[in-house]
Amino acid sequence: MNGRILTLLVVGIALTGLGVLWLLQGVDAVHVRPILCISNCKPVTSGSGGWLAVGIVALIVGMAAAALSARHLHRHPR
């Protein structure tokens, strides 16, 4: 298996997962507390258009990357 294709698949899956999380956060369905906060931590605000937009973009890019790598793996199995 080609290392680049495998890396693209892993990154695509991770980005898809983050996209879903951020999209849900943007529509105020998920509330996330700060993790590993050093100083002056504020909760991540939910229900914002910014998180919704970033989530949609990340979801689309992640799905495209995963689909592209899966297509390549299907055409060139090892």
35 phi and psi angles, rounded to 5 deg: -120, 135
Please report the pLDDT score of residue 13 as a whole number.
96
Please report the pLDDT score of residue 67 as a whole number.
95
Local confidence pLDDT in tens for the 78 residues of the chain: 588 999 999 999 999 999 999 899 888 888 777 777 777 776 666 567 888 999 999 999 999 999 999 888 878 766
Say how far apart CA 37 and CA 49 lie, in whole Å.
24
- Neighbour-count burial of 23, counting CB atoms closer than 10 A to its CB (0-12 exposed, 13-18 middle, 19+ buried): buried
